[in-house]
Structure formats: structure tokens, C-alpha cells
Amino acid sequence: MENVICEVIKNENLNKDHLLLEFENNFKEDFYPGNFVHIKIEKCFLRRPFSVARFNKKSIQIIYKVVGKGTEILSQKTKGESIDIIGPLGNSFPIYKNKKICIIGGGTGIAPLIFLSEELKKFNKEIFFFYGSRNRNSIFFSVLPDGIDYIFSTDDGSFGTKGNIFDIFKKFNGFEVIYGSGPEELLKKISKFSKKVPVYLSLENYMACGMGLCYGCVVKIREKDNWEYKRVCKDGPVFRADKIIWR
């Protein structure tokens, strides 16, 4: 965990709804798929957490949607501007090797899955990426790694199959590990598969500290015969699906 100042390399529209922010990688530590950064935004008291979508020695990329004041201000950052970032934060997805792998997600939740799929590619030949989106214009085509089998669905049928990505995923079988990120309703459905195979999900929540100090971002996690509130920022954001107690 470090607090560094990074210069913006680019901050531009990835599609109609989403932006891609690329900044210098001034971190000494490496990032792993699932890790997030906590970005200071002017005029906002709290930082904003973003999953890392792409990482290399020179730069880091995040993908976000303008949903409120914080992301609105962030969207106005231009090349050369400095941003105050804490990272890497949170745990990461365990990387399985030589398995038939399923990655499933939707919307902005796809971001950490891009980083994950890049990593999984190094150790696995069979990777199926189920990608759900509102429409063709909201898919992150330009940043999707090659060498992976993509299965798309859109709500309006403008790309891939029309409908929910989960309904398409259900028709496939034989996966040995499942990784997911995206809307809670989708994750809830995916977690049912954890009885058969390991399922790892990246969760989101409102966060204050991002460092495990304030216990603001907790979710209900099973512990033996009981449950307790675990921190998404520190104990997560990646949790085994069979441990999550959904709202």
C-alpha cells in the first residue's frame, strides 16, 4: 500500500457511457487482478475506489462511468494533471492453472475481469468470458485481451445474444473455476454454482478509508456455523461466493 502522485496519461471516452483513465505507474509494488486504487478527488471529502483494469510497469488503467459528483470531476482531468492515489488495495483473485475457466460479468464490473483474464491467459488455454452489456455501445471492445473466447449478450440485442448474460452462461457446462464481477443480481445468481465449483466474486460497496480502518464497507460473510461483517476493502473485494450472505 502506497500513497503516490501520478500524472494522467489519458482520460477519454471508451464508449458512450464509460471513460478510461490511464495514469503513470509510480507505485513500487505490483498490482494483481482484483486490487483497487483509492483516488482523491478535489471537492470531495472521501476518495473514490476503482478496480484496476489494466496494469503494466509504466501505466495503470481504470474504467469508470460518471455516476455522481466524484466521477464527474474525475472525468474532467486531462493529460499531465496530477492525481493523488492510494494503492494497491484489497486482495486479489486466486489464479488457477490448467483449468476450464469461466469469467462472467457485466457493465462497469467488467474492469477487474480484463486484468484477470490477461493474467489467466498465461496459465490456461480454455477461457470463456461471458460479457453482459446494455447495448453494443457500452462494450469495452478496445481493451479486451485477445486469445479468449468471448460470449456477448446485450439487453437490446444490438450485439451478441439478446438478453441476460446469466441465461446464456447457464447453457454451458464443464467449467472448473468461475470468476465474476458486476451487478449484484448477476453475482447472486452466479454464486449458486459455488456448490459445484470454486466461484470467486469481486464485490463493490461505498467506502470511506479503503484501508481496513473504518469498517464502513462491510458485507455479511459466513464463518463456520455463523457469520460476521467483513470489510470489502481489506478482507475483499474478492470473496468466495459460497461465503457471501446476500442481502
Partner 1 sequence: MKSLKTKLGKIELATPIIMTSGTFGYGIEKINFIDYEKIGAFTTKTITYNPLRGNPQPRIYETEYGMINRIGLQNPGVFYFVKNVLPKIRKKFKNIFVSIAGRNEKEFIEIIKIIKKEKISAIELNLSCPNIEKKQRMFSQDSETTYKIISIIKNETDIPLIAKLSPNVTDIKEIAISAEKAGADIISLINTVKGLSIDLKRMKIIDGGLSGPCIKPVGLKCVYDVYKVVKIPIIGIGGIIEGKDALEYILVGASAIGIGSGLFSNANIINEVYNFLENYLKKNNLMLENIIGYLNEKDWLI
Please enumerate, as own/partner, the contacts of 211-215 that have beta carbons within 8 Å and a separation of 24 or more.
211/1, 211/38, 211/86, 211/89
Nearer to partner 1, 40 or 65 (CB): 40
Q: Between 178 and 209, whose beta carbon lies closer to partner 1?
A: 209
Bridge partners, residue 21, by sequence: 11, 62
Q: Does 46 bind partner 1 (CB under 8 A)?
A: yes
Pick the closer one to partner 1 by CB: 143 or 211: 211
Helix (H, G, I), strand (E, B) or coil at 63: strand
Does residue 228 interact with partner 1 by CB under 8 A? yes
Applying CB under 8 A, which part among 14-22, 39-47, 114-122, 140-148 lies near partner 1?
Answer: 39-47
210 touches partner 1 by CB under 8 A: yes
**In sequence order, what are the residues at sequence separation of 6 or more whose Cβ sits closer than 8 angstroms to the Cβ of residue 117?**
103, 127, 129, 144, 145, 148
Smallest distance from the beta carbon of 136 to partner 1, in angstroms? 26
Sign of CA dihedral 170, 237, 74, 86: negative
Q: Of 73, 94, 74, 84, nearest to 21 (Cα)?
A: 74
73 contributes a contact to partner 1 by CB under 8 A: no
Nearest residue (CB) to partner 1, 58 versus 206: 206
List of residues contacting partner 1 (CB under 8 A) = 1-3, 40, 44-47, 84, 86, 205-219, 228-229, 234, 247
